[in-house]
A and B are shown apart, each in its own frame.
Chain A
Amino acid sequence: MQRDKFFKEIENLNHPNEKLIKTHCSYCGMQCGMNLRVNTQTNKIIGVEPRYDWPVTVGKMCPKGVTAYQQTNHKDRLLKPLIRDDASLKGTAEGFREASWDEAYDLIAKKFKELQTEYGKDSLSVFSGVSMTNEKCYLTGKFARVALGTRYIDYNGRFCMSSAAGGFLRSFGVDRGSTLPWTDIHETDCLFIAGSNTAECHPTSMFRIWNVQERGGYIIVVDPRETPIARRADLHLDLQPGTDLALANGIVNQLIEMGYIDEEFINKHTNGFEETNELVKDFTPEYTSMLTGVAPEKIIRAAEIYGKAPNAVVMFARGVEQQHKGVDNVSAYTNMALVTGKIGRPKAGVATFTGQGNGQGGREHGQKSDLLPGYRKITNPKHVEEVCSVWGITPEEMPQPGVSAYEMIELMEQKTIRGLYLLCSNPAVSAPNQNFVRKAFKALDFMVCSDFYLSESAEFADVILPAVTWSEDEGTVTNIEGRIIKINKAQEPVGESKPDWQIQVELAERLGRGKYFSHLKTARDVADEFRLATKGGYADYYGATWDKIDKQDGVFWPCKDEKDEGTPHMFLDKKFYHPDGKAKICALPYRPPAEEPCEKYPLRLTTGRVVYHYLSGNQTRRIPFLHDMCPEPYVEIHPDTALTYNMEHEERVRLFTRRGEAIYKVKLTEAIRKDTVFVPYHFGHEDSINLLTIAALDPISRMPEFKACAAQLEKVELKKVQ
């Protein structure tokens, strides 16, 4: 299926006494195909071999993917449950002792019951993540609502994909991250890529992206930094961080002005054009330039290229989404496709670069505070009834919607939430405003953390449960395209570690809720219940059986039944998912970043990734090759800016905001705006840039504004002298 010109028949190298297990990478939404090499005598994973026959990535892997297998048998793996009796040591890695699963489960059940008896059901919370299979994500939502009976569950997608989800829901009425398969990308004529450092964050998209230029097509990149993809782009719109909404409005203004709109498409298939047309009239190239810092002629040229392109894809990522108007940014860039009708056909559409491995699937099936499996709403009585019938509970037993990830942390600080079960996430690095977050975790009466390494967040736990890595369990993941794929098990769990679904089933039994969970004995059992629970929802996975996934090289949702082959291209019939079948062109007034530079904090601070690390770095910082390539964070500063502070390359300087400070090594580069500084966010403790970032939340997605706040620099030596 979808074997394109990049696909080559290449046989794998088979070493003696080894077998190859087909699977996908543990890290980002690309979910590159890979084979894990397993020694048939020790039954241990010992290496990686390219998976040339995976149609999306044809054997390609970034340095994280190549070394991903080194996580499994790593010396830092947690082999047994750990208990810490001395709560005064919270926030350190000290004081843990090994314990049996029985002792750990007993303690958790006792503490959870005590807290709920004293403070009510909602005194417990679940904070989860989406770097795990759909089956685990699904069961985590059920565990919170059925085993714990709490309303407070949310997940790290609030720091990742929630703005894309909110924007797509508003524009299309459905949230599938890409309206087209990745195998279309290289065949389009123009890629408009905003807020995505694609070469570092989704490297295996690059061979397709460069091919657009090789064919004579165009690449337009929107980024405050001259990233590797911006360097080679036909046009680089070097905007100030946090001004995307103005730029998108400005481009739509020019698309209308220059006559590139598709009136027939607008009339037949969309609502909201008139209001939007009215609103964007103000966003002339000159006015947009004043707001964004992008030269007017570049704005005009971008509209001209995108408007002329027979087919074009608008793409974006966290750069536009991690803002307190992230949802508006997503809808505003999506407007470009809707006013020109460049959507609902092959080689044209809109896509977000999904961050986490299962950022797509993990947000659809009930880990979000207000969602249930199949993208159902917990506030919709019919939806609640449908899910209750699968779970075997009554609608009255279904908890109310909770609050978003960062707001849960606020409730911990206020003692409304007193217990936490954290899994698959490391918010003590990844959440904004870390000084507050760490204080909130310390304030908890009882915290359980499930992970396969002792993360910075685990340092706040009373009990740590050893989970398995992705290679020691099986299940499905939904990749960047909306394609459901299969992760396969390559070796038995290390030590006494267990998959999170099994931990939840056993914990539910201890909590006296076994009758809702005990029938789930294998990952496949969870998968079967999960598919059933999605049936009839609009993210319908019912027809995506493991056999079909294997046979078809993945299944694009929605996939309603056995005969349904899935939906690689969305909206081919020009039907959108709003009740009237139309898409919404959104009129979105501009708002500046929540915190603008001032005399005291004159610089714009933005954060992001490097190619060698994944998210909080809990996994990748432990891999020797990746650590060697990028052992510590740094602050990127333009040489002209550094000159005004009298700072030199590699000098250690203090960077600070209203919320916190950190010391970083200076990295001078002309590939950044003079008014902006950049720090990668993969590092913990005193190195974490999230000590400085702002928790200004988007009103819809509750996404914090990681990408823009006001900061100041100071020489460290000078301070000592004072």
Chain B
Amino acid sequence: MKKRLYLELENCIGCRSCLAACTQCGGHEERNRNYVYDVNPLVNRQTMPLMCLHCENPACARSCPAQAIQIHETGAVLSALVEKCIGCQNCTIACPYGIPKFDHEQNLMYKCDLCIDRTKDGISPMCASVCPSNTLQWLTDEEIDNKKKQFNLDNGKWVTSMPYLEGETNVKVNLPGILQGITKLF
């Protein structure tokens, strides 16, 4: 059954375990490929991960003049092929979320490949495997549908890919506010 990365930003505790785990995926050359931000560090401890959303029509791949960024059959937008990447950095500029990173020494782009050696076989990516707060989860579409029903927000809308994001994404995002619609037990 197809599973997706699902983000519930309300849960993030800023531990950066996802970044530590990213370095541990066999295919990642021990470099982490995503981000965790302090939202307003002088005020409070709110944090949020910024993960590659694996767009269905990814700007990074579209902008690549060398066709170095391939899309896997699972929908994962892969890191640039080493033999094709020309180091132009178009992708880092084109991505609306600033995901692709650039290795100046090797003159190569690198980005999240959704731990393709794991996820191609349905195994949870490292970040979602370890995330202690369930900010990052690895869910079936059915489980994500249940989340939609569960988090019925004030505005009556499921806060996910559209209309806030650039286009449809394989990764589903739930912005802070999930608790607003919860009915208290007592």
Contacts and interface: CB of A to CB of B under 8 A. Distances in A.
Contact of A50 (B46, B130, B183, B185): B130
Contact of B13 (A47, A199, A214): A199
A612 B45 CA distance: 15
Interface in A576-602: none
Given A61-B17, A199-B15, A203-B15, A309 B186 contact: yes
Contacts of A639: 42
A207 B13 contact: no
A669 B179 contact: no
Given A10-B123, A10-B124, A13-B118, A611 B43 contact: no
A569 B184 CA distance: 27
Contacts of A310: 185-186
A668 interface: yes
A308 to B, nearest CB: 5
Contacts of B45: 226-228, 231, 669, 671
Interface in B118-132: 118, 121, 123-124, 126, 129-132
14 contacts: A10-B124, A11-B123, A13-B123, A63-B16, A63-B20, A65-B130, A199-B14, A203-B17, A231-B46, A232-B179, A611-B13, A669-B41, A669-B45, A670-B43
Interface string A210-250: 11011111100000001111011000000000000000000
A228 B13 CA distance: 6
A200 interface: yes
B179 A213 contact: yes
B155 interface: no
A52 interface: yes
A59 interface: yes
Contact of A229 (B13, B131, B179): B13
Given A62-B132, A217-B185, A668 B17 contact: no
A228 B183 CA distance: 23
Nearest to A60: B132
B10 interface: yes
B110 to A, nearest CB: 17
A203 B20 CA distance: 14
B24 interface: yes
Contact of B21 (A61, A211, A309): A61
A668 B47 CA distance: 16
A281 interface: no
Contact of B130 (A59, A218, A611, A649): A59
Q: Which of B129, B134, B150 has the most CB of A within 10 A?
A: B129
B133 interface: yes
Chain A: number of interface residues, binned into ranges: 35 or more
B186 to A, nearest CB: 5
A451 interface: no
Nearest to B14: A228
A61 B130 contact: yes
B7 to A, nearest CB: 14
B129 A216 contact: no
Nearest to B16: A63
B67 to A, nearest CB: 29
B64 to A, nearest CB: 29
Contacts of B13: 199-200, 203, 206, 228-229, 611
Interface in B66-84: none
Nearest to A311: B185
Interface string B147-164: 000100000000000000
Interface in A361-376: none
Contacts of B23: 625
A229 B20 CA distance: 21
A308 B123 contact: no
B117 interface: yes
A416 interface: no
B167 interface: no
Given A214-B182, A228-B47, A611-B13, 13 more contacts: A50-B124, A60-B131, A62-B132, A66-B130, A67-B20, A199-B13, A206-B134, A210-B134, A213-B179, A216-B182, A226-B44, A669-B42, A671-B44
A337 B117 CA distance: 49
A189 B23 CA distance: 37
A75 interface: no
A15 interface: yes
Q: Report the 9 A-B pairs with minimum CB-CB distance, sorted nearest first.
A: A199-B13, A203-B132, A63-B20, A66-B20, A216-B185, A207-B134, A50-B129, A206-B133, A228-B13
A629 interface: yes
A48 interface: yes
Contacts of B43: 669-671
* Interface-central residue, A59, A63, A611, by most chain B CB under 10 Å: A63
Contacts of A47: 24, 26
B184 A203 contact: no
A227 B126 CA distance: 26
B17 A66 contact: yes
B11 to A, nearest CB: 5
A478 interface: no
B19 interface: yes
A70 to B, nearest CB: 10
A457 interface: no
A218 B179 CA distance: 11
Contacts of A611: 13-16
B178 to A, nearest CB: 8
Given A60-B132, A227-B45, A668-B42, A206 B16 contact: no
B165 to A, nearest CB: 24
Contacts of A50: 124, 126, 129-130
A643 B16 CA distance: 31
Nearest to B178: A214
Contacts of A701: none
Contacts of B47: 228
A670 B132 contact: no
A225 to B, nearest CB: 9
A199 B118 contact: no
B118 A189 contact: no
Contacts of B20: 63, 66-67, 625
Contacts of A612: 16
B99 to A, nearest CB: 20
